[in-house]
Amino acid sequence: MDIQKKMQELVDQINHYNHAYYQLNESLITDEAFDKLLAELQKLEFENPLFAVPNSPTQFVGGTITKNFKSVTHQFPMLSLGNTYNESDLRDFDERIQKALGEEKYEYICELKFDGVALSFWYENGKLIKGVTRGDGTRGDDITNNVKTIKSIPHTIQSQDFPTTFEVRGEGYMPISSFEKINADKISQGEAPLANPRNAASGTFKLQDSSIVAQRNMACFVYAYLGNEIPFQTHEEGLMLMEKNGFPVSNTYRKCGNIDEVIQYIEDWEEKRHDLPLNTDGIVIKINDLGQQERLGFTAKSPRWAIAYKYPSEIAHTKIESVSYQVGRTGNVTPVANLHPVYLAGTVIKRASIHNANEMERLDLHENDTVYIEKGGEIIPKITGVDASKRLPNAAKFEFPTHCPACDQALIREEGEANHYCINDSHCPPQIKGRIEHFIQRKALNIENLGTETIDLLVEKGIIHNAADLYDLNEESFFGLEGFQQKSISNILTSIEKSKQIPFRQVLFGIGIRHVGATIAEKLVSAFHRIEDLQNATYEELIAVPEIGDRIALSIRAFFEVEENIQFIDKLRSSGVQLSEEIQEIVLEGQALVGKSFVISGVFENFERDDLKAKIVANGGKVVSSISSKLDYLVAGNNMGPAKLEKATQLNIKILSEEDFLALLS
């Protein structure tokens, strides 16, 4: 192919991946494959400088600013890093440094390369005044209220160590534990899980509602200090000074006297890094002396005094043998690829999730395709790409089924939803089994000794039809079934009996109303106490409960409209399962807010949102979620939604600052 055309194609391809990665928080290919494309373009541009396009992605940081936030100009550009994947490229880097610095001695600081999003924190007179994304490197999004939810980033600094204005940079990330928790919730609510912690972090920091950001427990490690006055001589001193002043500096960095020590550091962390609470994708090597850094300078896109080394990513390729379609307890149909077994990062992989029909379409999967699979922060490995060049000429494309693979009901897909559903919930076997499995899990009714196989058997033999039927089981129910010892039968029955003591909040989760995960069930029980009250609650009463939105409220209403569900609840009730919870006596701190209702919005200096809610309740007030003319007060924190503010102003609702609120209490 003609070189110029090839280069233009690479530019287009890279721009396409950049757009998906930075704007949509999606990786369409692996980082390694992406970096290869970029390196190829770089090489071609070097060899054919006349063909290089002026806005080539080799010359600019890949991100952009968004329309959703105010954009601000960086005082110092936020650049990218050159990267290497092997020791020999790293030694080349060291040689370039040596050459540029002549006879001078130099040292490196090695740090882990944290896999999240770059953030910049601006301080003025000891106060955090802004938090900004990298954006296009020159301008970033002002996401101050979102970064303020990171607990470890100080909002004020009382120290003479720093000048009046300075900037700290770091990597904001979603801890793996938060990522897994969010995904467990999503899965238990029948929703598609997030792809990986990096993309989840990037999406989270760009949310409009900082109260949701706050719930996600975002964290950060800082790795750079910038300003017009720099109160130290080396990068290491900078890290120590930041740490001394309460900034979150990871203690994983190491000073290295030469490139061999750097390579040792890389080896030392190759395995150990997996024990950290966040993902890391490599290490960053930086010249320690700031004077030397200055002399080495920058290219348009990255510093010459630093480089990233990336660990080979945990990818494998294998052949796809078939696709099965699993029906979940809510009727959602998920495609799963059955693979020719392949070894990847310590385990043998035979299956990979494909998530939904969109993802299947994107991958354009054909029979016998060779696919790339990758293990990210997620539990189940996933297919990240297909090697279409290895496709057999007559291979048929995998088509998403139109009918339920288990019961043949026509599948439906609601507008705006990625998932297909089988709506035959009362007769579709995997849904029945799935609901029972959901019911007995530890977080729900915690019925031990009852495995998936036993449930399958009991359902298939027609002994039970739903979870409430478990309470009819007795020794005779197991007569004639193979493989049940007296002892195991009595263990099962004891566990079922014990589940009658499980508190209502867990039972409500176990009942398995769509979109009602464990946390939501807890909120509902705190608001309604008895299943009858929940059943009788109107849509308006439901959405008045904190965190209950339109979707959940409608789903609860729909659940109680179905006669079979009412019978199911009745049966649980007559079996003695807990369907109410004692109202906890709230000991009031004071009476100042009795009879008053509050909406709270935004982020607060002195309170976490939940603490603020608790404070209102403890003083006799009520917290509601939406603004109506009946509302008494709107407590406004930073970054509250403009729509809320407008509505409150229109309705003449009294708006309280945090200080006003505290004054009300006293």
Known binding-site residue numbers for Zn(2+): 404, 407, 422, 428
**Eight-class DSSP state of 584:** P
Stretch of residues binding Zn ion (CB under 5 A), selected from 11-19, 231-239, 280-288, 421-429: 421-429
- Residue 509 binds which one of Zn ion, ligand NAD, none, with CB within 5 to 8 A depending on kind? none
Place of tokens 């699979």: 373
* Alpha carbon separation from 526 to 512, 523, 529, 557 (Å, rounded): 18, 5, 6, 18
Nearer to ligand NAD, 205 or 559 (CB): 205
Closest CA to 508 of 493, 494, 524, 495: 524
Dist CA 209 CA 138 (whole Å): 25
- Say whether residue 428 binds Zn ion (CB under 5 A): yes
| Type of residue found at 401 | P
Among 113, 206, 382, 433, the active-site one is 113
List CB contacts of 572: < 8 A, sequence separation 6 or more. Answer: 467, 468, 471, 507, 511, 579
> 169-195: buried (b, 16+ CB within 10 Å) or exposed (e) per residue?
bbbbbbbbebbbebbeeebbbbbbbbb
Phi, psi for 655 (deg, rounded to 5): -105, 125
Fill in the per-residue mask, 266 to 285: x = in contact with ligand NAD (CB under 6 A), - = not in contact: ------------------x-
Dist CA 417 CA 556 (whole Å): 18
Q: Which residues pair with 221 in a beta bridge?
A: 171
Nearer to ligand NAD, 27 or 145 (CB): 27
- Say whether residue 279 binds Zn ion (CB under 5 A): no
Fill in the per-residue mask, 307 to 336: x = in contact with ligand NAD (CB under 6 A), - = not in contact: -x----------------------------
- Say whether residue 140 binds ligand NAD (CB under 6 A): no
List CB contacts of 228: < 8 A, sequence separation 6 or more. Answer: 163, 165
Q: Which residues pair with 351 in a beta bridge?
A: 338
**579 phi-psi bin (left φ>0, alpha ψ -120 to 50, beta other):** alpha
Minimum separation from the CB atom of position 380 to ligand NAD (A): 19
Place of tokens 């600019």: 60
Which of 27, 120, 334, 419 binds ligand NAD (CB under 6 A)? It is: 27
- Say whether residue 405 binds Zn ion (CB under 5 A): no
Dist CA 511 CA 555 (whole Å): 13
Q: Which residues are part of a known binding site for NAD(+)?
A: 31-35, 80-81, 111, 134, 171, 286, 310
Minimum separation from the CB atom of position 332 to Zn ion (A): 11
CB 310 within 8 A of CB 35: yes
- Say whether residue 424 binds Zn ion (CB under 5 A): yes
Which of 256, 287, 320, 404 binds Zn ion (CB under 5 A)? It is: 404
- Say whether residue 223 binds ligand NAD (CB under 6 A): yes
Which of 81, 285, 552, 648 binds ligand NAD (CB under 6 A)? It is: 81
113 catalytic residue (yes or no): yes
Residue 254 token pair: 């190491």
Touching ligand NAD, residues 92-111 (CB under 6 A)? 111
HEC states along 417-475? CCCEECCCCCCCHHHHHHHHHHHHCCCCCCCCCCCHHHHHHHHHCCCCCCHHHHHHCCH
Q: Residue 318 is inside which H or E element, if any?
A: strand 315-327
- Say whether residue 136 binds ligand NAD (CB under 6 A): no
Fill in the per-residue mask, 572 to 611: x = in contact with Zn ion (CB under 5 A), - = not in contact: ----------------------------------------
* Alpha carbon separation from 338 to 322, 326, 329, 349, 357 (Å, rounded): 5, 12, 21, 9, 16
Nearer to Zn ion, 384 or 424 (CB): 424
Place of tokens 């959901």: 438
- Say whether residue 658 binds ligand NAD (CB under 6 A): no
Stretch of residues binding ligand NAD (CB under 6 A), selected from 15-23, 125-133, 340-348, 506-514: 15-23
Fill in the per-residue mask, 508 to 547: x = in contact with ligand NAD (CB under 6 A), - = not in contact: ----------------------------------------
Which of 201, 224, 352, 422 binds Zn ion (CB under 5 A)? It is: 422
Minimum separation from the CB atom of position 18 to ligand NAD (A): 5
- Say whether residue 407 binds Zn ion (CB under 5 A): yes
- Residue 35 binds which one of ligand NAD, Zn ion, none, with CB within 5 to 8 A depending on kind? ligand NAD
Q: Residue 507 is inside which H or E element, if any?
A: helix 504-511
Nearer to ligand NAD, 251 or 666 (CB): 251
- Say whether residue 144 binds Zn ion (CB under 5 A): no
Dist CA 219 CA 50 (whole Å): 45
- Residue 528 binds which one of ligand NAD, Zn ion, none, with CB within 5 to 8 A depending on kind? none
The residues assigned a catalytic role are: 113
Q: Would you tell me which residues interact with Zn ion (CB under 5 A)?
A: 404, 406-407, 409, 422, 424, 428
Q: Which residues bind ligand NAD (CB under 6 A)?
A: 17-18, 21, 27-31, 34-35, 61-62, 80-81, 83, 111, 113-114, 118, 134, 171, 223, 284, 308
